[in-house]
């Protein structure tokens, strides 16, 4: 068996982590022969809950689990890790404006970026799940620079891709496992653009005549619909998406492509520079490096949607960076 890899999960006492931890521990992300050490970080107020999570993990008796390290200390949590799932973030509360949410999360992700720079290796793979994920990932990467390159930071839009893929499968009456190349463009927010124009089923292109505004709206608002029905935000589906994202980043994507929020250099599909923008990506399994898929056709409808979500990301960047003035 391979030597253990060190996997950090923040917000470890929360709902998403509760579903994510067993997926990672049983080998569904990094491989059935890959031992893992789980480092579980949460705030001091959640330490008793975290103790209970550790008890449950132990009681599961996962064969691949080498060690569990629960902590409320960032220096301990980020020490020599190979992978980070940054799940914990400040949730949006009633009456809170988006700019207030950004300002609160800047402090969290700036601190974690500094901790990555101080304690982690330059090769660490960082997936930001906590919302607003794209801009949180951008801020984290800024504070981890220059030690850790920006391409090592990604934001999760896989949940949106999974949601859209499920809708495509239901519409065409095919198995969701056979649907590939559904794309989420832009921000993980209500401005995201779910694009099914390139979707295939078992390698065969699915019929497409025009974009479906109802399906787009359904995916954009799915998180709010879950909250309205469940009275809690998406957890099980978010954990599955985080695992899917990291699995493909670690093991490669094969012949299909997947949606990943990655750093934009301003040369792809008109997306603005220096934002974390969701693109269709492929990943080489040997290098574990993502690459944006180029050459896909965009009609005027799609171009307009990309412009809108790109503008939102630029506005978020401006607000987030203004909250870090003097810290970078």
| Residues that are catalytic | 188
Task: For the beta carbon of residue 245, count every other beta carbon within 10 angstroms.
Answer: 26
Is 163 annotated for ligand binding?
yes
Contact 62, 282 (CB under 8 A): no
Contact 101, 320 (CB under 8 A): no
Is 251 annotated for ligand binding?
no
DSSP 281: E
Rounded Cα–Cα distance for residues 85 and 253 (Å): 19
Torsion of CA 271, 277, 281, 284, to 10 degrees: 120
Is 26 annotated for ligand binding?
no
Is 53 annotated for ligand binding?
no
Is 131 annotated for ligand binding?
yes
CA distances from 167 to 156, 180, 199, 234 (A): 19, 12, 12, 17
Give Cβ neighbours of residue 56 (< 8 Å, ≥ 6 apart): none
Rounded Cα–Cα distance for residues 129 and 87 (Å): 5
User: Binding site for substrate, residues?
Assistant: 92, 98, 131, 163
User: Binding site for NAD(+), residues?
Assistant: 42, 105, 129-131
User: Binding site, residues?
Assistant: 42, 92, 98, 105, 129-131, 163
């Amino acid at each position: 068996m391979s030597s253990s890899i060190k996997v950090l999960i923040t917000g470890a006492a929360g709902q998403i982590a509760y579903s994510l931890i067993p997926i990672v521990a049983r080998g569904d992300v990094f491989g059935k022969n890959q031992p893992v050490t789980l480092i579980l970080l949460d705030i001091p107020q959640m330490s008793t809950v975290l103790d209970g999570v550790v008890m449950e993990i132990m009681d599961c008796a996962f064969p691949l689990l080498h060690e569990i390290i629960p902590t409320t200390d960032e220096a301990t949590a980020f020490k020599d890790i190979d992978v980070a799932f940054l799940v914990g973030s400040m949730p949006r509360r009633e009456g809170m404006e988006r700019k207030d949410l950004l300002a609160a999360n800047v402090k969290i992700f700036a601190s974690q970026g500094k901790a990555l720079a101080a304690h982690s290796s330059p090769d660490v793979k960082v997936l930001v799940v906590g919302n607003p994920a794209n801009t949180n990932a951008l801020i984290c990467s800024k504070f981890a620079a220059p030690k850790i390159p920006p391409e090592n930071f990604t934001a999760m839009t896989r949940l949106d891709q999974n949601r859209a893929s499920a809708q495509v499968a239901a519409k065409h009456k095919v198995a969701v496992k056979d649907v590939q190349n559904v794309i989420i463009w832009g921000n993980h927010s209500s401005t995201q653009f779910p694009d099914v124009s390139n979707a295939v089923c078992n390698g065969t292109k699915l019929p497409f005549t025009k974009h479906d505004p109802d399906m787009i709206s359904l995916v954009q608002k799915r998180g709010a619909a879950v909250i309205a029905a469940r009275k809690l935000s998406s957890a099980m589906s978010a954990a599955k998406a985080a695992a899917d994202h990291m699995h493909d980043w670690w093991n490669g994507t094969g012949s299909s492509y997947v949606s990943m929020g990655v750093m934009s250099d301003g040369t792809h599909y008109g997306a603005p520079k220096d934002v974390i923008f969701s693109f269709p990506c492929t990943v080489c399994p040997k290098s574990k490096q993502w690459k944006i898929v180029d050459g896909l056709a965009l009609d005027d409808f799609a171009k307009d949607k990309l412009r809108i979500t790109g503008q939102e990301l630029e506005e978020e960047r401006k607000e987030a960076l203004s909250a870090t003035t003097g810290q970078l």
